[in-house]
Chains A and B, each alone.
Chain A
């Protein structure tokens, strides 16, 4: 089945850029996501990219997709202490009925931002 891998920890200094990487195995994945989980909170949808796109930018967030290598990354510019959280990569595909299927998650990358 589908497998999604991400490194478990990343530590950066405030003001630097953070890059969180993710690899997946199923080339038929249609949508690729980044979710953020702050301590004690649920999963917040940060951004997602459709498989026919290479890049998506949303304010400080840049998502890059390399379909050939099945590699997804999330870049956070000017990282702030408030960005400290666990970031989950997830992928899905449309099911036979054309609606969104279930998400396959990585284990999450814990981002620590030092002042």
Chain B
């Protein structure tokens, strides 16, 4: 079974540009989460989808970040315009909505975003 995949693995953009990150969760996982780790800090929650709906977006830093999950499958996270402080590693995770796998949240390899 394929794990959580993310694309691209690494992105280098200039300040003011736009970047879109993609996450494909494990098949059948209705819960999808975005997190990010800024250099030297903890991994911080950004938002949580249940299927196509935003369950919790309390961690989104500002309105330059837009997450979508049309159709309840893959998700995109767009940063527009990017700022220097957006640099970090963006992780996506997924889990089952219910059942014995409820507690198991699986992470993708992350996208390393560098804003210059």
Contact = CB atoms under 8 A, between A and B. Distances in A.
Interface of A: 4, 31, 33, 35, 41-45, 48, 50, 88, 90, 92, 95, 97-107
Nearest to A98: B98
Given A95-B55, A98-B98, A106 B50 contact: no
Contacts of B109: 41-42
Contact of B42 (A44, A99, A106): A106
Interface residues of B, number: 28
Contact of A99 (B31, B43, B44, B108): B31
A94 to B, nearest CB: 8
Contacts, number: 65
A100 B50 contact: no
B41 to A, nearest CB: 7
Interface string B27-44: 000010101000001111
11 contacts: A4-B42, A35-B107, A42-B108, A43-B43, A43-B107, A48-B104, A97-B50, A100-B103, A101-B56, A103-B33, A106-B42
Contacts of A97: 50, 55
Given A42-B91, A104-B45, A106-B42, A99 B97 contact: yes
Interface of B: 4, 31, 33, 35, 41-45, 48, 50, 55-56, 59, 91, 93, 95, 97-98, 102-110
A106 B43 CA distance: 8
Nearest to A96: B55
Of residues A99, A101, A104, which shows the largest number of chain B Cβ atoms within 10 Å of its Cβ?
A: A99
Contacts of B35: 102-103, 105
Given A42-B107, A92-B105, A100-B31, 7 more contacts: A42-B4, A42-B91, A48-B103, A95-B55, A100-B95, A103-B93, A107-B42
Contacts of B50: 97, 99
B98 A88 contact: no
B48 A50 contact: no
B103 A50 contact: yes
